[in-house]
Amino acid sequence: MHINNLITVSLFCCFVTSDSAAEECYMQCVDENALDTVSINLMAVDGTDGVHLNQYNWIVRKIADFRNVMPHITITVVSVDIKFMASEALHDLVDGANFYHAYVMPVGQKMGSLSEYLLDLGNKSLPDISGTENVEFDFGSLGKYMRQYNAKHDKKVMMLPLSTKFHSLYYRKDVFEMYNVSVPRTLQEYVEASWFFQGKDMNNDGEPDYGSCFPHRGVDSEHNFWDWVAPYVQSLGTSQGMFFDIDTFEPLIDNVAVREALQLWRNVSGPPETGSSSADDSNGDSSVVWDLWASGRCAMTLTDGTGFTDLFTASSHEYISSTISPGSESVWWRETNELLPCNETVCPYARTYPDGKVVNHAPYHTQNNLAGAINGEIDGDRQDAAYMFLQWIMRADNKEDGVLDRNTWESPSGDAVGMSFVNPTLLDSSIWLEYGWKDPATAEYCQNEKDMMDHPNVAMDLRVPDNDEYFAAVSQVLTFYFLDNSSHESDEETTRNATQWMKLAMEAVTEEGDFQEAIDAYQKQLGVYIAPPDNSGGDDGSILTDFAVYVIVGTLGGLISLTLLVLFIGWVIRIYRQKQKFKRRQEKAWESQIDEAEINGTVLGCPMSVILATDFMALGRLVHFEVLRDTGRLKTLDSIQQVKKIQEDFIILFLSHQWLGWGIPDPKNTHFDAMCATILEAAKLFSGGQGRMDLRKIYVWVDYCSIAQEQRPMQELAIRSLPLYSSISDMFIVVAPQAEHDNSKKNCDIDTYATRGWCRAEMMAKVFGSGLDNMFLCEAVGAALKPVTMDMLDQLDLRVFEGDFSCCMLKHKNTSKCDRESLVSPMLGIYSNCLKRDTADVKHEGMFTLETFQKDKERMFPRNFDFEKQHAKSFTLDRRELFGPLPEMMEHRVASNKAKAPKPVHSGLERAAVIEDHPIEVETNQCEVPEEQWESPFDI
């Protein structure tokens, strides 16, 4: 358990001063209320980190106040690190321990993953006992969005929202009026206004100030980005979603609309945000930007509700006003992949302004808003107690929690956490005026929040497994995009590269997790989930056959009434339609996999990082990617075109090997020494017998040095590109000298190398891509390189998916995905290229042909595989689809010549493959790995 603290607040029915009186009163209380006394454990966010201290203090104080209303209830606060709240709750529920009875946690903490265990509050009512009239909250008074989406999961009320934050435009009303500038209604107008105010002195200190203040990188930057994307990609209501395609879960990030939003976002004029490319760099992060806003040096900003409370200053708050976030006059029409001007069809919820401008707004509702939920597996008394407590928190008379006293800059209760925005009653500006706030700014703010609560096109924050990983991956690409000043690319090309990178990074997060769990969660949060039909009755045809039989029998026998027959027909039709819709979704997902495979076969999904041979040999050992990157010793090649360009003057050696230690690829430098000798031998071969090629003309690719080790999504992208790296290199060398594994003490050589699944994938990519040309084997330090021949390959098994994978040896202990699944797309890409060569009758001596695949296709492309998963006390064995019908679909596409030519990806973000957060170890090509000692999810 990740439990940090427990506080028990015992709520007694009487309070006295003397010991004897206390005992007498206590006994009387127990006698009268023994049957009604209830104890509940409430999970809440830990406040010891300081960041969430206000939330922690708030919940403890709420419990203490609650005792005056319901004195027979004892609530124990169990504080848990915010990163582990969802997993801790899920483990408790799955194991059936039911230690936690209720939860107050950020909705973004994947509360949806707990939904099947939570109490459905849709029909929940308070018990008919004295005192409940003091805690009841009118759920119907919540805004439409709060009722339909923030409280619901899969159309069921699973949560009681306790706070909410919408992004809005906050601006200096006095400055806008002084210069007679209209308040921005669109993002384009926002950019124009930022440039107009840039450099003007707005706080009378004699210094030039800034047109806009919001962070492009660092904390909160990704949410500001999504705020800009929302009005471009979502126009048909909240259920349309803005992050993924609801049918295929394809990220909605690489399209013309996002590119336009991204260019506007980048061109906003504000304070300098320079410095290193590290997202941890403080120059330009949110704390710096907010300080500038609070000191009156900014004309406007885009942020959540804290813009009205935390960002106001005592001297200028009456000059600050707020309105709905700027929108867009055009939106992305997904069916045609084009930007269309707003009209009643494409923008049914748009605002039409007095000058006739039609603007689509999509107020962005940020994550980490608190919500309460109740364990559905506990007894009724505890459920009632928890429900009463959560209802009481939501009551309107708790106004002190949402209003800051303008004189003390604290809430009257002492712990402001911005809870008021859930309750419309608390958005009555008269309440705020009691505590020193001024109109009209306060009235405008309150009205704006109310409007957004009822807005039909609210852009809902992401609430799926690994949602933080999605945001982190996009945030890193945004940082590099914002700081990239490459002169070799146009803004349009750089922006296109950025959206392609973001899409790849998001797809890598999906592939690392559980795809079906992710898409189900996304559909459920939007209220569009359709459960897979029960196949026990057969396929589509059998359903209709059964239908016909039932109708005939029922009609002839007269055993059912006309009403029942109609109901039955309706039920069959609904089931049939659901099944057809699910089938279409599955087919669309397969088509997306085919598209991705074709791209993987011809386009670098991740830049290829190489190091000069002279620099490599000077290292003295294998050094991991991040160190080489930070010291500037890596050369990044963003596209195949760049690889070919550099190959005009240099050669690239691809060194393939297996690791000789757990967590350390080469503990005794056995492989490093062999690699250095291999480089010298390769230089002789490329000299044409005339001495040795200049080592400064040789680049080297080695897994540990060339693949990011500290960020999982970017690592996944590189892994998917491994087959392409190996096939486009000038020379492929297997480095497999006799060596002892440092931990297992087992012998490692060419035979053990060839048993590894990833090694087989690299060899297959090489021989199917460029044949046996320049493919060599190094079996000993100082020995001549041995050309790999067809006879040698015949001795090796190239069935990739029958090779050894460490994740399988570990029974997928720390991952929900098998490495075999990561290789489906690149292997399918190789097959695609092979099919196209065969169609064009292109042959190459020493190159494996299509026949190699097709004579053993079932084993080369297994339709399914067994996924064994180790749990804490047991293990499960699931039959998962691997390739399914994909090989046949690829054959049909190539044969019918319907495949579209893949668009090249030219990434101008030379550092985008590096993400500094959450370092992890990648242990690759192990000879043999005991389960208890190796826990990396990847086996390259």
Tens of pLDDT, residue by residue over 337-387, are 899 999 999 999 999 999 999 999 999 987 667 788 999 989 888 998 998
pLDDT value at residue 35: 37
The pLDDT value recorded for residue 738 is 92
Count Cα neighbours of 909 within 13 Å in the Cβ-side half-sphere. Answer: 27
Question: Does 146 lie in the same domain as 20?
Answer: yes
Is the Cβ–Cβ distance between 151 and 157 less than 8 Å? yes
Torsion angle defined by CA atoms of residues 370, 372, 377 and 381, in that order, rounded to the nearest 10 degrees: 160
On whether both 380 and 339 belong to a single domain, the answer is: no
Dump pLDDT digits (tens) for 581-628: 666 767 777 887 888 777 766 777 788 999 999 999 999 999 988 889
Residue 416: its pLDDT value, please? 40
Residues 41 and 156 in one domain: yes
pLDDT value at position 907?
Answer: 32
- Listed in sequence order, the residues at least 6 apart from 508 whose beta carbon sits closer than 8 Å to its beta carbon are 473, 712, 713, 714, 715, 716, 717, 720
C-beta atoms surrounding 16 within 10 Å:
13
- Give the residue, 463 or 932, on which the prediction is more confident: 463
> What band does 872 get if pLDDT is binned at 50, 70 and 90?
low
- 198 with 226, same domain: the answer is yes
Is 507 a member of any domain? Answer: no
Give the best-scoring range by mean pLDDT among 164-178, 419-433, 800-814, 829-843: 164-178
The Cα 854–Cα 757 span in angstroms is: 20
Do β-strands 102-106 and 38-45 pair in parallel, antiparallel, or remain unpaired? parallel
Compute the average pLDDT of residues 474-494.
68
Phi and psi angles of residue 468, each rounded to the nearest 5 degrees, phi first: -65, -35
pLDDT number for residue 931? 33
Among 841, 851, 809, residue whose Cα is nearest residue 935: 809
State residue 198's pLDDT score: 94
| φ, ψ for residue 119, nearest 5 deg | -75, 130
Return the H-helix or E-strand segment holding 865: strand 864-870
- Rounded CA-CA distance 786/174 in Å is 78
pLDDT above 70 (res 406): no
How many Cα atoms within 13 Å fall on the side-chain side of residue 555? 8
d(CA 239, CA 366): 16
Question: Do 101 and 114 belong together in one domain?
Answer: yes
Cβ atoms 38, 129 nearer than 8 A: no
> Is residue 662 within 8 Å of residue 933, measured between CB atoms?
yes
Nearest to 734 by CA among 796, 622, 659, 655: 655
Q: Encode pLDDT of 216-239 as tens digits.
A: 765 566 778 899 999 999 999 999
Whether 707 is covered by a domain: the verdict is: yes
CB of 714 closer than 8 Å to CB of 919: no
**494 in a domain, yes or no?**
no
* Under 8 Å between Cβ of 73 and 33: no
Query: Measuring CA to CA, which residue among 52, 40, 47 is closest to residue 4?
Result: 47
Flag whether pLDDT at 109 surpasses 60: no
Answer yes or no: is pLDDT of 312 > 80.
no
Looking at residue 23, its pLDDT comes to 36
Residues 371, 160: Cα–Cα separation, whole Å: 5
Phi-psi region of 738 (alpha: psi -120 to 50; beta: other; left: phi over 0): beta
**pLDDT of 184 strictly over 90:** yes
Which neighbouring-strand residues pair with 719?
none
Predicted confidence (pLDDT) per residue in 508-525, tens digit: 888 777 788 888 888 888
* Residue that has been written with the tokens 């049918």 in this structure: 247
Cis before 533? omega within 30: no
Closest CA to 897 of 833, 828, 836, 850: 836
DSSP-assigned letters across all residues of 601-661: HHS-SS-EEEEEHHHHHHSSS---HHHHHHTT-EEEE-SHHHHHHHTTT-EEEEEE--BSS
Amino acid at 170: Y
Lowest mean pLDDT among 13-22, 209-218, 739-748: 13-22
Residue type, 597: A
Assigned token pair, 818: 């098998």
Whether residue 489 is contained in a domain is answered as: no
Top mean pLDDT of 478-482, 495-499, 537-541, 686-690 is at 495-499
What residues are paired with 869 via a beta bridge?
Answer: 876
Task: Calculate the CA 707 to chain-centre distance.
Answer: 21
Q: Is 706 helix (H, G, I), strand (E, B) or coil?
A: helix
The candidate with the shortest Cα–Cα distance to 702, out of 739, 749, 665, 755, is: 665
In a domain, 50, yes or no: yes
524 belongs to a structural domain = no
Q: Say yes or no: 567 and 634 in one domain.
A: no
CATH of the domain at 448: 3.40.190
Q: Does residue 342 sit within a domain?
A: yes
CA distance linking residue 748 with residue 926, whole number of Å: 9
More confident residue, 704 or 48: 704
Q: Are residues 865 and 886 in the same domain?
A: yes
Provide DSSP, 570-604.
Answer: HHHHHHHHHHHHHHHHHHHHHHHHHHHHHHHHHS-
Kindly report which listed range (312-316, 327-331, 495-499, 777-781) carries the lowest average pLDDT score: 312-316
Query: In the prediction, which pLDDT does 672 show?
Result: 95
Reduce the secondary structure of 8-51 to three states and give it as a string.
EECCCCCCCCCHHHHHHHHHHHHHHHCCCCEEEEEEEECCCCCC
Which residues are 609's β-sheet partners?
636
Reported for 304-308, long-range contacts at CB under 8 A and 24+ positions apart, including other chains, are 304/165, 304/166, 304/167, 304/168, 304/223, 304/366, 305/164, 305/165, 305/166, 305/168, 305/418, 305/421, 305/449, 306/165, 306/418, 307/168, 307/170, 308/170, 308/445
**Which one has a higher pLDDT value, 693 or 67?**
693
585 and 607 fall within a common domain: no
Distance CA 756, CA 93 (A): 38
Structural domains in the chain (count): 4
Q: How far apart are alpha carbons 254 and 260 in whole angstroms?
A: 11
> Quick one: average pLDDT of 775-804?
87
Could you tell me the pLDDT band of residue 412, with boundaries at 50, 70 and 90?
very low
In this prediction, residue 933 carries a pLDDT of 32
Residue that is last in its domain, among 594, 611, 641: 594
Least Cα distance to 327 among 344, 356, 350 occurs for 350
**Is 562 found in the same domain as 613?**
no
- Using pLDDT thresholds of 50, 70 and 90, give the confidence band for residue 897: low
Question: What integer pLDDT is reported at residue 930 of this predicted model?
Answer: 34
CA distances from 6 to 3, 79, 124, 373, 591 (A): 8, 6, 28, 19, 51
Global pTM exceeds 0.85:
no
Strand partners, 9: 75
C-alpha distance from residue 123 to each of 119, 126, 158, 534 (Å): 10, 10, 11, 27
Q: What is the pLDDT of residues 433-469, one digit of tens each?
A: 776 677 777 788 778 888 888 889 999 888 887 777 8
**Domain encompassing residue 863:** 603-896
Model confidence band, residue 717 (pLDDT cutoffs 50, 70, 90):
confident
Judge whether 860 lies within some domain.
yes
Q: Which helix (H) or strand (E) holds 685?
A: helix 670-686
Least confident of 472-486, 569-583, 667-681: 569-583
pLDDT of residue 417 exceeding 90, the answer is no
Tokens found for residue 724: 């392409």
Lowest mean pLDDT among 303-307, 353-357, 692-696: 303-307
pLDDT of residue 789: 86
Is it the case that residue 396 has pLDDT exceeding 80?
Answer: no
User: Cα–Cα distance between 922 and 719 in angstroms, integer?
Assistant: 11
Residues in the chain: 940
Please state, for a pLDDT cut of 70, what percent of the chain lies above it: 70
Query: Which of 178-187, 551-560, 633-642, 829-838 shows the lowest mean pLDDT across its residues?
Result: 551-560
Q: Which of 291-295, 403-407, 499-503, 643-647 has the lowest mean pLDDT?
A: 403-407
What integer pLDDT is reported at residue 349 of this predicted model?
94
Contact criterion met (CB below 8 Å) for 506 and 287: no
> How far is Cα 618 from Cα 763, in angstroms, rounded to an integer?
28
Cα–Cα distance for residue pair 470/338, rounded to 1 Å: 25
Same domain, residue pair 775 and 829: yes
- Percent of the chain's residues with pLDDT above 90: 23
**CATH code for the domain in which residue 31 is found:** 3.40.190.10
Strand partners, 656: 734
- Per-residue confidence (pLDDT) for residue 136, from 0 to 100: 55
Are the CB atoms for 646 and 699 separated by under 8 Å?
yes
Q: Are residues 141 and 198 in the same domain?
A: no
- Mean residue pLDDT of the chain comes to 75
Cα 260 from Cα 329, distance rounded (Å) = 12
Same domain, 47 and 101: yes
Token representation of residue 284: 């330009």
- Residue 863 in tokens: 């339709």
Q: Determine the average pLDDT of the residues in 707-727.
A: 79
Position 865 scores a pLDDT of: 92
